Structure formats: structure tokens, C-alpha cells
């Protein structure tokens, strides 16, 4: 099972892509990233457009992203934020995020993006310690899957009531129902522990009385959680 092919034929997906609006900087960043061997972790453009839509729907001004990679989703969020809005984005890689920085500048939204190079759990703990619990409108979780439950809990603490967490890769390319659905390339990247953590979190969210939830079959599965 390849990315974004859960529901649609190649032809139908091409049609969906032909209907999207994608800013020039986003398009060029996506094409540059597609040449990287880790490009499988980049969100597809229809998902980026959906995140932008959510930011505007929420009227979000303060966002958090866990897992920057080359900065495509941060750019989607930043473009949708008002000029005085801010997205804090967490990653451990200078190399990947430096690619994003160029496009953030080009799109004139670099002032809205606060990149924190550190372990995301440390950045989240520091935000909570500095009194920012309950202040974020939106969180996007899209980093190492083994820490997903920790990211979820910290994000819920940082989120305001009515705010939304979007959690990516909740289907883990089909492996949540059967690890044998992964091809060799994906099997080399996704561990049994990743699968266990994502399955467990999906079950936990279903039962979690602190939130409302909906799992969308978009790209590799995107769960939206609204804090009560
Ligand atoms: Ca992802």
C-alpha cells in the first residue's frame, strides 16, 4: 500500500490534485522534497490544503507542529494564519528544516514560524513549564510514531478547550490492521513498536471522554481531536 492510495485510483487522485489550490512556494518545496528518500513522510498537497482550511475555520492564531521535516505542513499552516499568528514547529534535524527555511522566506511567512531544534518532548515540556498550557488553538502531530501517545498527552495539555489536534499516519499504511500490508521499503521504516503505539492510541482516543474525535481516511489517515 503506497501513500495516498488507500481509497483512490491513480486517475481519481490525479483529478483531485488537479482541483487544488497550491501556492507556488508550496509546489516547489513539495517537488524538491519528493527527491528525498524520506519523502514518504511528507504530507500530500490535498492534506496540506485541508490543514490550511482548518486553521482558517478555527480562526487559529497560535499553532504547534510536532515534526517539521522539510517544512511543507508548517508552510501550509503559516500561510493560513493571520499576519500576527504564530506556529511553533519542532524537529531534531537542521538539514531537513533548512530546506523549509528557504521556502518560508520566499513565501514571506518566516516571521510566523518559530522553529525549535530539540527533542519535541523537551520543547513541549518547556512550553508547559513556561505557562503556555491551554493556549494553543491547533496542534499537528506528525513525528516519530513511538512517542505518539506522549505527544498526544502533552498536546492536549497545551490545547485550549475547543482547539483541535490533527494526528497524521493513524492508519500507518494499513499496518494497523495487518503488518503484512507493508511493502519491503515501508517494513524497513515502520517497527512493530510503531504499529503497537499507533493502534493503542487509536483505541485510547475512541474511549477518551476529554475530547470529541473523527478519523478521516485522508492520505495515510488523519484523526482530528477537539478538546472539550
Ligand atoms: Ca506524516
Residue 45: exposed, middle, or buried by beta-carbon count in 10 A (0-12, 13-18, 19+)? buried
The CATH T-level fold of domain 3-227 is Rossmann fold (3.40.50)
Q: b/e map of 185-213 (b: 16 or more CB within 10 Å)?
A: ebeeebeeebbebbeebbeebeeeeebee
Say how many Å lie between the CA of residue 169 and the centre of ligand 1.
5
Say how many Å lie between the CA of residue 220 and the centre of ligand 1.
7
pLDDT of residue 198: 98
Q: How far, rounded to the nearest angstrom, does the alpha carbon of residue 55 sit from its chain's CA centroid?
A: 13
The yes-or-no verdict on residue 10 having pLDDT over 90 is no
pTM for this model (two decimals): 0.96
Percent of the chain with pLDDT over 90: 89
Q: What grid cell was written down for 37?
A: 528518500
Say how many Å lie between the CA of residue 212 and the centre of ligand 1.
22
pLDDT band at 13 (very low <50, low <70, confident <90, very high): confident
C-alpha distances (whole Å) from 72 to each of 43, 102, 122, 192, 223 are 8, 11, 23, 28, 19
Say how many Å lie between the CA of residue 140 and the centre of ligand 1.
10
Say how many Å lie between the CA of residue 42 and the centre of ligand 1.
6
CA distance 127 to 169: 25
Domain ranges of the chain: 3-227
* Residue reference for cell 498526544: 152
Amino acid at each position: 500500500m503506497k501513500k495516498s492510495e488507500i481509497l483512490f485510483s491513480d486517475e481519481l487522485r490525479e483529478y483531485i490534485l488537479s482541483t487544488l489550490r497550491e501556492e507556488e512556494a508550496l509546489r516547489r518545496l513539495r517537488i524538491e522534497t519528493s527527491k528525498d528518500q524520506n519523502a514518504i513522510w511528507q504530507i500530500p498537497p490535498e492534506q496540506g490544503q485541508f490543514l490550511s482550511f482548518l486553521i482558517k475555520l478555527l480562526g487559529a492564531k497560535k499553532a504547534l507542529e510536532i515534526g517539521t521535516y522539510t517544512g511543507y505542513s508548517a508552510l501550509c499552516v503559516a500561510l493560513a494564519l493571520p499576519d500576527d499568528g504564530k506556529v511553533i514547529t519542532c524537529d531534531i534535524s537542521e538539514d531537513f528544516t533548512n530546506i523549509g527555511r528557504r521556502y518560508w522566506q520566499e513565501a514571506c511567512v518566516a516571521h510566523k514560524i518559530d522553529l525549535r531544534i530539540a527533542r519535541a518532548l523537551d520543547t513541549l515540556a518547556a512550553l508547559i513549564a513556561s505557562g503556555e498550557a491551554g493556549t494553543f488553538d491547533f496542534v499537528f502531530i506528525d513525528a516519530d510514531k513511538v512517542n505518539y501517545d506522549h505527544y498526544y498527552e502533552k498536546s492536549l495539555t497545551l490545547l485550549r478547550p475547543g482547539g483541535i489536534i490533527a494526528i497524521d499516519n493513524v492508519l500507518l499504511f494499513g499496518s494497523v490492521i495487518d503488518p503484512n500490508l507493508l511493502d519491503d521499503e515501508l517494513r524497513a521504516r515502520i517497527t512493530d513498536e510503531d504499529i503497537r503505539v499507533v493502534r493503542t492510541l487509536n483505541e485510547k482516543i475512541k474511549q477518551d471522554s476529554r475530547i470529541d474525535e473523527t478519523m478521516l481516511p485522508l492520505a495515510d489517515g488523519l484523526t482530528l481531536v477537539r478538546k472539550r
